[in-house]
Structure 1
Amino acid sequence: MKVLMLDDHPLILSALRQMLEAQQPGIEVAAAETPEQAKALLAAAGAQPFDLLLLDLKLGDEVDGFDVLAELRQAHPELPVAIVSATERLADVVRAVDMGAMGFVPKRSSMDELSEALSMVLAGGVFIPPALLELIARMQGRGDLGDTTITAARAQLAAADAAEAARRAAGHTAVAAVAATATTTAGPAAAAVAPATPTTALAALAASGLVPRRPDGLDALGLTPRQTEVLALLLKGLPNKLIARELNLSVETVKDHVAAVLRALEVNSRTQAVLAVSRIIQRATPAG
């Protein structure tokens, strides 16, 4: 296993290298502090290409991490990329996935979460922290993703939840008063029915299309072997033309398979597919 890390902070590179080497004995880790160094290492890899690129989106004031991601994805479409970044913007997470990143790991993550994420990505899975998935789903449901940061989103949703709880409490009080009156005048049979259970975070995710409304595990999707192969390549960010070339299929056939995969996941885009699969894998993976 060969991993290339691109980050302009030497201390971060050193810490990630130590973690990877502790997790995967025998792993080869190369580090680059600039896009030029990364390109040189990729070009020099030759017949032994890298298996994974860990990319920071913040590479200095004069470098746009998304431009680097786009350039590397175009030059090396077969190379899986995971973002390890300090960016706070939720839109950056969605944009990175939309551009082909297999996962997103905030640098503010705990060491345990970072270790879990890297293990999953190295095993070929996709990883986005569950808390981020829920924030993205709920903010998209509100139509308020925009430039919202993680911290701001949490504050906004906490305020919205508090307001909803207060509204629901007031509703319960009103219903109880009506029920008491009805019971007094018409007997117990006329008691009011309790309000419906409030929407949970998981239900919000399902409603937004980020999580399939199906049992845990990819097996429950009922994909054919060919559709499973297409999904695996889709998760790596490969466009339809490269998926067609990889599987020796026509582009039109690949489009049909991609459409079938999206229907099975109950999502509308590749980005949502990656987010949905990330959630499925995390829910199906035993804790600890």
Structure 2
Amino acid sequence: MKVLLVDDHPLILSALQGVISGLGSDVSVSTAASARELRRKLAEDADHDLLLLDLQLGDADGFEVLSEMRREHPALPVVVVSGSDRAADVLRAIDLGAMGFVPKRASNELLFEALRLVMSGGIFVPPVPMGLGSSLPSHDSVQEPPPPLLQPRPLQVQMQAGTAGAAVSVAGLTPRQNEVLGKLLQGLPNKLIARELNLSVETVKDHVAAVLRVLNVSTRTQAVLAVSRLSQQQGGGSSTPPAQRY
């Protein structure tokens, strides 16, 4: 597995490189200290399996770089590794196509859990409170703590990794609606979902509306977060790991 780390802080970059190298002997890790160096390395070798991206880069805004990576390298999974764990930043990163978000204060075990989930086709969301507002809070605004994303509902989620992503089964959804949800987890827009499932765009919109209603959320991004959080909770991934830091 080839991993590319992007962070402009030498100590953090070195620490992450050591941690990721510990995943196994088949893991090779390269680094970039800037967005410019990231672009150069991908131009020289686009064959990477995973990109770990810091949001605070000296020569570019991390969210803009994330958008660029999803546009220019759509097959490359991106996990944000950030000094922030604010709900607004998590929501924005997932909304822009990140497959995971790991705060830098997290333990090594949480990072490993996130990478395993992403490489198996899932989306990792850290155990931080999430709001239900239909629009994202301002990046620099100070707000009261939001209510939990997930309401106490008896939803059951099963996720199984596959070559095309994670197959998902949420109780209360029809098989077709679960198929649509699986495509949402891959970040596909309605038109592509319609094409892949041989449905009309209007039918896909109806299925998406049903998915949001069952999950008790109001946006596609919140649906992705809800499923990720539920699957982690039911799989034991929502507890806080031991306090080994990197």
8 Å CA contact 2:88–2:136 kept in 1: the answer is no
The 1-side partners of 2:218 and 2:111 are apart by 29
SS of alignment partner, residue 275 of structure 1: helix
SS at match of 2:57: coil
Q: Which residue of 2 aligns with 1:58?
A: 56
Matched residue, 1:264: 214
Distance 1:92 1:29, change over 3 A: same
Among 62, 75, 81, the alignment partner of 1:84 is 81
Aligned pair count reads 227
Give the whole-Å Cα distance in 2 for the aligned partners of 1:94 and 1:255.
22
1:256 Cα deviation after fit = 4.0
TM-score by length of 1: 0.65
Question: C-alpha deviations, 1:171-198, integer Å up to 9, x for none?
Answer: xxxxxxxxxxxxxxxxxxxxxxxxxxxx
Counterparts of 2:215 and 2:84 in 1: how far apart (Å)?
28
Query: Contact 2:7/2:34 (CA < 8 Å) preserved in 1?
Result: yes
RMSD: 3.3
Residue among 69, 92, 99 paired with 1:95: 92
Partner Cα distance (1:68, 1:277) in 2: 26
Unaligned runs of 5+ in 2: 159-168, 242-246
Contact 2:92 2:136 in 1 (8 A): no
Within 5 Å, which residues of 2 pair with 1:120-135?
120-130=117-127, 132=128, 134=129
**Residue number in structure 1 paired with 2:69:** 72
Equivalent residue of 1:23, what SS? coil
1:54, 1:10 → 2: CA distance? 15
SS at match of 2:98: coil
SS where residue 53 of structure 1 aligns?
A: strand
1:162 alignment partner in structure 2: none
| Aligned-residue offset at 1:110 | 2.3
Unaligned residue ranges in structure 1 (runs of 5+)? 158-200
Q: Secondary structure at the match of 2:56?
A: coil
Partner residue, 2:112: 115
The structure with the largest helix share of the pair is: 1
Shift of 1:283: 0.7
1:280 counterpart residue number = 230
**1:254 offset after TM fit, Å?**
4.0
Alignment partners' CA distance in 1, 2:32 and 2:85: 23
Partner of 1:38 in structure 2?
Answer: 38
The 5 Å alignment of 1:229-244 reads 229-244=179-194
Q: Deviations over 1:47-103 (max 9, x none)?
A: xx433221111001x411111111111222333222101135432222112212222
- Counterpart position of 2:164: none
Identity across the alignment (%):
54
Q: Which moved more, 1:262-271 or 1:239-248?
A: 239-248
The offset of 1:12, in angstroms, is 2.2
Rg (Cα) greater in structure:
1
Map residues 196-235 of structure 1 onto 2, 5 A cutoff. 204-205=147-148, 210=150, 213-218=153-158, 219-224=169-174, 226-235=176-185
Deviation at 1:246, TM superposition (A): 5.2
Name the counterpart of 2:27: 27
Is the CA contact (8 Å cut-off) linking 1:212 and 1:267 kept in structure 2?
no
CA 25–256 in structure 1, closer or farther in 2 if over 3 Å, else same: farther
Once the two structures are superposed, the pairs formed by residues 172-183 of structure 1 within 5 Å of their partners are none
- TM-score, normalised with respect to structure 2: 0.74
Higher normalized strand content (fraction of residues): 2
